[in-house]
Structure 1
Amino acid sequence: MAISEFVRRAGNEALEINPTTATIDITTAASDFLWMVFSVMAATTIGVGIWAQFGVKHGQRTFHHLSMMITGTASVAYFCMASDLGSVAIPVEFIRGHYDANPVTRSIWYARYIDWTITTPLLLLELLLVTGLPLSDIIITIFADLVMIITGLIGSLVRSDYKWGLYSFGCAAMLYVFYMLYFPGRQASHSLGNELSKTYLIGASILSFIWFLYPIAWGLADGGNVISPTGEMVFYGVLDLVAKPVFAIVHLYSMRKINYTQLQLTSGKYSEYSNDLKGDVPTTGGANGKTELTGNTTGAAHPVSVGKPTDAPHGATSPAGADSTVHGH
């Protein structure tokens, strides 16, 4: 095989295999950039997975798994966009320049909005789990985030100036998210100590600054048709790189010394005692209210109740006697 043929086959043929469909669409240079972003997202997913598997104890991988879900989802979205997939041609409201086509259309990348619908709630969850906020506050914050993303998607698919009404709804939802981050969220994080409060504030600052720039990108690209689709990809791509891989690494690094017990996020329950199944297993209900251990010869965990005799009414008798114990079989 000639070297020139090898180089040609190694090049980016995405737009040849999946041709563009809109009047205003991406170029091969934009596709090249999107492949780079895909590579970073995928590498981060794999790297965090290795970090979690070999560097973090079982039951303490909540934030690592959240980061993997975020960058893994983004990897799929950027694979689609780099391949010129996941878009639809929509007539533009503002036509800038001269085109022979009628109507003039621009590619709107719904793959990006699907990505955000999954990843932005996970980003908020990863951040807000550090605060100790009530579950109801976390739920309403994630709901506002979904309103922000979905109104942005619908607005981008609208040709008329009604899209700016949806844009306004999305901006209002974003401001509510910022309020929750900087007021209830920050206040709640202080109750967990200086270290957690500092970790939370760093993460909230990075996320809110980057998210503030997304509506600007939307106004210049999906809304106003001011910048080209190539410029759009670079703008959104840089924001996504900071909001996902960079945020993930900074947040996970700052969380490395955090006590998971303080956050009450350690998972396990039955699996926590897997090493004790052939020996002693933990039980509750001891005479002093503390956990006690009893032998179990079969490897099955059975609860053991050991305590003081239950006070019974005068004249009543206990079927099992004054002091009854349930033993493992």
Structure 2
Amino acid sequence: MIVDTAVWAWLGVLAMGAGTVPPLWRWFAKSGEGDSHALHYATLAGVTGVAALAYLAMALGFGVVSTPGGNLEAARYLDWLVTTPLLILFLGLLARPPRRVLIGLIGVDVVIIAGGVLASATTGTTSWVAFGVAGAAYAALVYGLLVTLPRSASAEADRVTAVFGTLRNITVVLWTLYPVVWLLAPTGFGILTPATEMLVFVYLDVVSKVGFVAVAVAGADALDRLGVGDASDLAAAFESPDAATAEPSDD
């Protein structure tokens, strides 16, 4: 059982490592051509790069913490604590909403992860209350991604809207499956074995992260339609609550 868990973790390392190559290659290949979207590519590489390191820790048996709720894969939750905000950040870089909207979505995401940690590390009523809080926060995040973010976003080219919509839908659909796995795993009703739990989480992580990165890189031409000159302009887009109403550049 332990061997099987490690095998799935090693597959996660390989998949996430492979998924990091395209954005890094795009970043370095385009840097010599004056490509100004380094922040986009760095964000994408950070998603799969951090996940690869987390799976490496799990494959080597590091990052496991003994809690009243059982062994907690701390490396997995640290991965999610870093990579899920990065995924939301990339969506924000495409949509360019007011800063308060993006910060709010990332804050709700952190609440979800914290609730998941508490639910997994405890038992009984405390665990289920924490799971319920995380579930409510996730419902708010889904509403934010489906309604608030698009509604408050800057008006962009159709290509940007299409890429954003695809990535947003991938995120919402796949992230909705994580609490289902938690319920079926030993953390919930115990229907899944630890090895099966690892297998399912690796599969979901690969599709939701590597798949996200692959679609984003394939749609990199949308970045040229953002009307942003450089990384400083990207940062400036989030400095004012009225950023969403700013006119896009003609460049």
Query: The TM-score by the shorter chain falls in which range?
Result: 0.7 to 0.9
Tell me by how many angstroms 1:154 deviates: 1.1
Is this contact kept in 2: 1:81–1:109, CA < 8 A?
Answer: yes
Please point out which of 221, 228, 246 is paired with 1:256.
221
Q: Alpha-carbon deviations, 1:257-291, whole Å to 9, x = none?
A: 432552x362369xxxxxxxxxxxxxxxxxxxxxx
Which segment is superposed worse, 207-216 or 187-196?
A: 187-196
Evaluate the alpha carbon distance shift between residue 171 and residue 51 of structure 1 in structure 2; reply closer, same or farther with a 3 A threshold: same
Tell me by how many angstroms 1:223 deviates: 2.6
Q: Does 1:193 align with 2:157?
A: yes
Aligned to 1:45: 20
Q: Structure 2-normalised TM-score?
A: 0.85
Aligned to 1:156: 120
Runs of 4+ in 1 over 4 A off after TM superposition: none
Q: Alpha-carbon deviations, 1:106-150, whole Å to 9, x = none?
A: 422111001111110010000122112100000001000000001
Q: Structure 1-normalised TM-score?
A: 0.66
Tell me by how many angstroms 1:88 deviates: 2.2
Tell me by how many angstroms 1:190 deviates: 7.2
- 2: CA distance between counterparts of 1:201 and 1:82? 34
- Of structures 1 and 2, the one with the larger relative CO (CA 8 A, separation 6+) is 2
Please point out which of 141, 152, 172 is paired with 2:136.
172
- 1: CA distance between counterparts of 2:62 and 2:189? 22
Aligned to 1:119: 83
Is this contact kept in 2: 1:59–1:268, CA < 8 A?
Answer: no
Is this contact kept in 2: 1:87–1:109, CA < 8 A?
Answer: yes
Please point out which of 36, 50, 53 is paired with 1:76.
53
- 1: CA distance between counterparts of 2:217 and 2:18? 16
Q: Secondary structure at the match of 2:95?
A: coil
Q: Alpha-carbon deviations, 1:26-67, whole Å to 9, x = none?
A: 521221121011011112223421221013544222221101
Is this contact kept in 2: 1:86–1:111, CA < 8 A?
Answer: yes
- How well do the aligned residues superpose, as a CA RMSD in angstroms? 1.9
Q: Higher helix proportion, which one?
A: 2
Tell me by how many angstroms 1:213 deviates: 0.4
Equivalence map 1:221-240=2 (5 Å): 221=185, 222-240=187-205
Is this contact kept in 1: 2:50–2:83, CA < 8 A?
Answer: yes
Q: Alpha-carbon deviations, 1:131-187, whole Å to 9, x = none?
A: 121000000010000000011001100022321101011011111111111112223
- 1: CA distance between counterparts of 2:145 and 2:94? 11
Q: Which runs of 5+ in 2 are unaligned?
A: 234-251
Tell me by how many angstroms 1:189 deviates: 4.6
- 1: CA distance between counterparts of 2:30 and 2:214? 14
Give the letter aligned to residue 153 of structure 1: V
Q: Which runs of 5+ in 1 are unaligned?
A: 1-25, 93-105, 270-329
Please point out which of 194, 203, 206 is paired with 2:170.
206
Give the letter aligned to residue 248 of structure 1: V
